Amino acid sequence: MLLKFFKGLTPAILATIILTSLLIWGKSLFSTEVFSFYFDNYPMPLYVLIKGLMGEHTLIEKIVALIITIASALYLIQLNTKHILIKYRTYLPVLLYIIFTSSFIPLQRINPAVFASPFLILATDNLLSSYEGKNSLDHFFRASFYIGIGSMIYLPLAAFIILASISLIILNNTGIRQWFVVLFGFITPWFFAFIYYFVWHNSSGML
């Protein structure tokens, strides 16, 4: 029954997704309480920039975080449509994604994982596209580039560079050129960030 209902993005399904999201996030949206985590004390460079753009508007921060969560869930469905990861087309995973990622109430706020997740999805999209055999080097560079950007928001995301390495091995693209493409893609965002901090700020601001 649920699978049939969530088949295709109809206004009813979209309304259900938004309403469910608001119900899950409702208490947090109208609460001024903000829990502190380690990433508040040791923020990554891009997360500092994002926080600065948000200012001290707690409600706006939470609304933006919720919108990005919903958008990431919808993009995952497009990823499945593009690469046919799951044969049965349904929007039920969108609802499950929102429920699982929002299950820890203290994290229903602006946090680095929320902003880093779209970059991980973009990286996954490019890694899957590399299996098509067209412009594989370009896809590998983009994937590692997105992982690099994501790691500047949420450092643990850097571990996903292993996915790009595994993809190279699976595709038997183990030449030095391919490995350099992945490496350069990952360090490029960090390189420009270092230049920015070195020229306009004290380089210790990145640490």
pLDDT tens sequence across 22-63: 999 988 888 878 788 888 888 898 999 898 888 778 888 899
Between 172 and 117, where is the model more confident?
A: 117
Residue 5's SS3 state is helix
pLDDT > 60? residue 84: yes
| pLDDT averaged over every residue in the chain | 85
Instruction: Identify the pLDDT of residue 31.
Output: 84
Domain residues of the chain, as ranges? Answer: 1-110, 111-207
| Pair of tokens at residue 87 | 């044969």
Q: At residue 153, does pLDDT exceed 90?
A: yes
Residue 118 has pLDDT above 90, yes or no: yes
Model pTM score: 0.87
Handedness of CA 39, 194, 49, 126 (dihedral sign): negative
Question: DSSP characters for 152-205?
Answer: TTSGGGGGGHHHHHHHHHHTT--SHHHHHHHHHHHHHHHHHHHHHHHHHS-GGG
pLDDT at 173 over 70: no
Q: What is the C-alpha to C-alpha distance for residues 152 and 43, in angstroms, rounded to an integer?
A: 9
Answer for the pair 167, 127: CB distance below 8 angstroms, yes or no.
yes
What's the length of the chain?
A: 207
Average pLDDT over residues 135-151: 93
